[in-house]
């Protein structure tokens, strides 16, 4: 455990750059691994989650090297992954687990997936079910959790699958399994989720057809693809930028530029909601990086007002609710959120854990089955924690959100463990200390 008390800050001022997008970094490594030849990736997130993906691919025969700021991946071709000698340790990373399960499902490979205490509680049934229909044989721990053993089938069976939960990880697992499967694999997505897989698959030369039927997105992938190696530039992670955007909005006198932030519309709804709350967030230098829309964000301290968050926006800001709750705790009036059942199966139960954490810091929070209702202070500092540290439950986003809450508190906010922050944002504390110093 590495506890830390985050204390009231001076105005945050300066220009920062957040690390590469976690979702895109995982996909860049995996698709490069399936190309024939050497792909080069710049801006890759060097967080523990992405390094878990790299280590697993390496264990299945893919050479991955870092040359200065660039990562080089010597792909083995679609269908070319080899049997790993040992269990694949996924650490804290649900994305590594679910996407790699998809990849392995259509290879003649048997792999055991293990993870830390947080990951070992998370539901894998949502990928076990469709991958099982494709022919993979999966033996999981009780409740459909890790550790699990997956025996891939080659050739696998193409399926048409309607997603029962809005999950980009499940969608991507099926599409990745479909890559080494004869025929056409179809995913029907009633609620759109992040589309990084589709964008990057097309970039690598996969035959992908996108359509709409009765309001649902249809994604068809043609199997037995041949990938040519690519140069990929990974944009900055909007989910990491979120902590600094909220910090700049709520710490009086702040003005921060966050450069190179990915603003894919399937990811960027937090900034829409913060603007609805009165947040002053400007997009500068809009451009495209690695097939994704990107801009620099200029964020200034703002008087925020509570809002009712449209549940339809949830999938496009699913990882940003913990820090939105912190913004809500500082807003004037009530913020209501709903439709957030999925938050209960993230790295922690983010509704229960954030309700307890903000409550411990003195905010007015009510927990409902599918969301939180928060009555904000109208800009006055929170009391802060005095009765012991916040239990972050091995959840990086809880630790970073409560660090931001500490910046606007009388007593500071103590979190029990900052180590999980390194899963997605290794230099978070250094950037925060630099801006506040
Ligand atoms: C991710 C999808 C989301 C998100 C996770 C990353 C991805 O998970 O919460 O942090 O990279 O596809 P779900 O697919 O479970 O919603």
What's the pLDDT score for residue 37? 97
Beta-carbon count within 10 A of 414 CB: 21
Name the fold adopted by 22-228. UDP-n-acetylglucosamine1-carboxyvinyl-transferase; Chain (3.65.10)
Contact 371, 351 (CB under 8 A): yes
List of residues 6+ apart from 437 with CB closer than 8 A: none
Using CA atoms, how far apart are residues 287 and 56, in angstroms rounded to an integer? 33
> What confidence tens digit (pLDDT) does each residue in 160-200 have?
999 999 999 999 999 999 999 999 999 999 999 999 999 99
- 189 pocket-lining for ligand 1 (C-beta < 6 Å): no
At residue 49, the pLDDT reads 98
- The answer to whether the beta carbons of residues 157 and 134 sit under 8 Å apart is yes
| pLDDT tens column, 305-349 | 999 999 999 999 999 999 999 999 999 999 999 999 999 999 999
pLDDT of 381 > 90? The answer is: yes
- The response to whether residue 168 sits with its C-beta less than 6 Å from ligand 1 reads yes
Mean pLDDT across 284-312: 97
CA-nearest residue for atom 16, ligand 1, is: 167
pLDDT tens sequence across 46-59 = 999 999 999 999 99
Predicted confidence at residue 225, as pLDDT, reads 84
SS3 content of the chain, % helix, strand, coil (to 5): 35, 30, 40
Q: Quick one: which of 373, 374, 371 has its CA closest to 382? A: 374
Please name the helix (run of DSSP H) or strand (run of DSSP E) that holds residue 113, with its range, or none. Answer: strand 110-114
Cα of first residue to Cα of last residue in the chain, in angstroms, is 25
Residue 253 has a pLDDT of 98
Q: Is the pLDDT of residue 407 over 90?
A: yes
Q: What is the rounded CA–CA span in Å between residue 78 and residue 363?
A: 51
Given a cut of 80, whether residue 219 has pLDDT beyond it is yes
How many whole angstroms from 419 Cα to the centroid of ligand 1?
21
Q: Distance, CA 377 to ligand 1 centroid (Å)?
A: 31
Q: Record the tokens describing residue 37, joined without a space.
A: 């030849």
Q: How far apart are CA 232 and CA 286, in angstroms?
A: 19
* Residue 362, CA atoms < 13 Å, CB-side half-sphere: 19
- Verify whether ligand 1 is closer than 6 Å to residue 317 (CB atom): no
User: For a substitution probing ligand 1, which of 21, 28, 91, 94 has the most ligand atoms within 8 Å of its CB?
Assistant: 94
Confidence of residue 379 (pLDDT cuts 50, 70, 90): very high
Give the tens place of pLDDT for each residue, 127-143. 999 999 999 999 999 99
Give the strand pairing for 280-289 and 292-300.
antiparallel
> Is the per-residue pLDDT at 423 higher than 80?
yes
CATH superfamily of 4-20+235-436: Enolpyruvate transferase domain (3.65.10.10)
Torsion of CA 159, 165, 171, 173, to 10 degrees: -80
pLDDT of residue 9: 83
- pLDDT(435) > 90: yes
Please state, for a pLDDT cut of 90, what percent of the chain lies above it. 98
* Continuous H helices in 299-375: 321-329, 350-360
Arithmetic mean of pLDDT over the chain? 98
- For residue 369, how many other CB atoms are within 10 A of its CB? 9
Please report, for the chain, the start and end positions of each structural domain, with discontinuous segments joined by +.
4-20+235-436, 22-228
Which ligand 1 atom sits closest to the C-alpha of 26?
Answer: 11
Q: How many residues does the chain have?
A: 437
Q: Which pair of tokens denotes residue 245? A: 């955007």
Torsion angle of alpha carbons 303, 305, 306, 312, nearest 10°? -100
- Neighbouring CB atoms inside 10 A of 417's CB total 20
Residue of the nearest CA to atom 11 in ligand 1?
Answer: 23
- 133 C-alpha to center of ligand 1: Å? 22
pLDDT of residue 259: 98
Q: How many CB atoms lie within 10 A of CB 298?
A: 16
pLDDT at residue 290, as a whole number = 85
Predicted TM-score (pTM) of this structure: 0.98
- Given a cut of 80, is residue 220 above it in pLDDT? yes
Name, in order, each residue with C-beta under 8 angstroms of 373's C-beta and a sequence gap of 6 or more. 334, 335, 336, 337, 365, 366
Residues annotated catalytic, as ranges:
319
Residue 278 has pLDDT above 80, yes or no: yes
Task: Return the best residue to mutate from 95, 200, 219, 323 for the ligand 1 pocket (most ligand atoms within 8 A of CB).
Answer: 95
- Can you give the pLDDT at residue 437? 73
Portion of the chain with pLDDT greater than 70, in percent: 100
For the segment 17-45, the average pLDDT, to the nearest whole number, is 98
Q: Which DSSP symbol is given to 234?
A: P
Q: Using pLDDT thresholds of 50, 70 and 90, give the confidence band for residue 393.
A: very high
Q: Are 122 and 196 in contact, with CB atoms under 8 Å apart?
A: no
Q: Which residue lies with its CA nearest to atom 10 of ligand 1?
A: 319
User: What pLDDT sits at residue 363?
Assistant: 98
Domains 4-20+235-436 and 22-228 share a fold: yes
Q: Evaluate if residue 248 carries a pLDDT over 80.
A: yes
User: Is 282 a residue whose pLDDT tops 90?
Assistant: yes
Q: Is the dihedral of CA 276, 277, 280, 283 positive or negative?
A: negative
- Given a cut of 80, whether residue 365 has pLDDT beyond it is yes
Distances (CA, A) of 15 to 36, 40, 125, 235, 243: 39, 27, 43, 16, 14
Structure tokens at 279: 């947040």
Residue 318 Cβ contacting ligand 1 at under 6 Å:
yes
* 73-95 tens-digit pLDDT: 999 999 999 999 999 999 999 99
Inter-axis angle of helices 94-105 and 22-34, nearest 10: 20
Written as one string, the DSSP assignment of 193-208 is ---HHHHHHHHHT--E
């Amino acid at each position: 455990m590495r506890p830390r008390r985050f204390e009231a800050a001076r105005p945050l001022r300066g220009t920062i750059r957040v690390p590469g997008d976690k979702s895109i970094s995982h996909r860049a490594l995996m698709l490069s691994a399936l190309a024939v030849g050497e792909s080069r990736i710049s801006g890759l997130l060097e967080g523990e989650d992405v390094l878990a993906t790299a280590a697993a691919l390496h264990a299945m025969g893919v050479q991955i090297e870092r040359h200065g700021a660039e990562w080089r991946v010597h792909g083995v071709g679609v269908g070319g992954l080899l049997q790993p000698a040992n269990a694949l340790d996924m650490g804290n990373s649900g994305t590594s687990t679910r996407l790699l399960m998809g990849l392995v499902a259509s290879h003649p490979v048997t792999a055991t997936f293990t993870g830390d205490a947080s990951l070992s509680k998370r539901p894998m049934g949502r990928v076990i079910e469709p991958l099982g229909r494709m022919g993979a044989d999966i033996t999981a721990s009780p409740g459909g959790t890790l550790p699990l053993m997956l025996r891939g089938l080659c050739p696998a069976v193409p399926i048409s699958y309607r997603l029962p939960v809005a999950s980009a990880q499940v969608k991507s697992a099926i599409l990745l399994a479909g890559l080494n499967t004869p025929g056409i694999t179809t995913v029907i997505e009633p609620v759109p989720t992040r589309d990084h897989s589709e964008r990057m698959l097309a970039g690598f030369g996969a035959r992908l057809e996108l359509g709409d039927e009765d309001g649902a997105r249809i994604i068809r992938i043609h199997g037995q693809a041949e990938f040519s190696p690519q140069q990929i530039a990974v944009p900055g992670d909007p989910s990491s930028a979120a902590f600094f955007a909220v910090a700049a909005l709520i710490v009086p006198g702040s003005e921060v530029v966050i450069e190179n932030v990915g603003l894919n519309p399937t990811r960027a709804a937090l900034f829409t909601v913060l603007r609805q709350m009165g947040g002053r967030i400007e997009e500068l230098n809009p451009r495209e990086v690695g097939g994704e829309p990107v801009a620099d964000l200029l964020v200034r301290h703002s008087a925020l007002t509570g809002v009712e968050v449209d549940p339809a926006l949830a999938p496009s800001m699913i990882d940003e609710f913990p820090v939105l709750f912190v913004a809500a705790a500082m807003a004037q009036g009530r913020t209501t959120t709903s439709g957030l059942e999925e938050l209960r199966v993230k790295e922690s139960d983010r509704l229960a854990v954030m309700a307890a954490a903000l409550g411990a810091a003195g905010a007015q929070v009510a927990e409902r089955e599918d969301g939180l209702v928060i009555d904000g202070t109208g800009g006055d500092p929170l009391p802060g924690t005095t009765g012991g540290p916040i239990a972050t439950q091995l959840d990086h986003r809880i630790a970073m959100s409560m660090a931001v809450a500490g910046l606007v508190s009388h007593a500071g906010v103590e979190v029990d463990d900052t180590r999980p922050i390194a899963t997605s944002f290794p230099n978070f504390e250094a950037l925060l200390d630099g801006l506040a110093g």
